[in-house]
Amino acid sequence: MPKGSNQKLKLYYLARIMLEKTDDEHMITMPEIKSALEAYGVTADRKSLYDDLEALRTLGIDVLGEKVGRNFYYHVGGKQFEIAELKLLVDAIQSSKFITEKKSNELIKKLTGMASKYEAEQLKRQVVVQGRVKTMNESIYYFVDDVHRAIAENKKIRFEYMKWN
């Protein structure tokens, strides 16, 4: 079979498909993998995809295959963060007083990218802490990083504390 278009990107797109569309609850068949790749403009035959799935395993992506009835299904097992860990991080970000609303939304969007599209739906939660006002200062995010760096490097820090009224 002659090489198709976008072959150099095939492994990247395959990894993206597996990470975004599968998890322990949602599996995908080989024909579904082929059609998902075709949506990216990548042609692939079944035999080369077996090698590509093995390459993903070598790269550290936990691709699992299991036979259910007459069909063989594939999915990604362990991911960098479990869904419970991502939920915990989302809750901490949303309830944090020093992170602005805009920065909270940006961070949560990045975290949802680490889950499948099905798990990402579970991360759309709104934690409400009664009486907590989010800061308006965008730069506080970077100030906290500066303080932690100064502590790690055993350096003195100086700041001027004032109250606006």
Alpha-carbon distance values, 53 to 7, 15, 63, 110 (Å): 15, 8, 7, 25
Please indicate, yes or no, whether residues 64 and 90 belong to a single structural domain of this protein: no
Residue-number span of the structural domain to which 135 is assigned: 83-152
Dist CA 14 CA 42 (whole Å) = 10
Look at residue 61 and tell me if it is in a domain: yes
| 51-62 residue pLDDT tens | 999 999 999 888
Look at residue 157 and tell me if it is in a domain: no
Runs of H (alpha helix) within the chain: 10-21, 30-39, 46-58, 83-95, 101-112, 117-122, 140-152
Listed residues 76, 93, 115: the one ending a domain:
76
Element (H, E) at 40: none
| 121-164 residue pLDDT tens | 877 766 555 555 666 667 776 777 888 889 899 998 887 777 77
Full-model pTM = 0.64
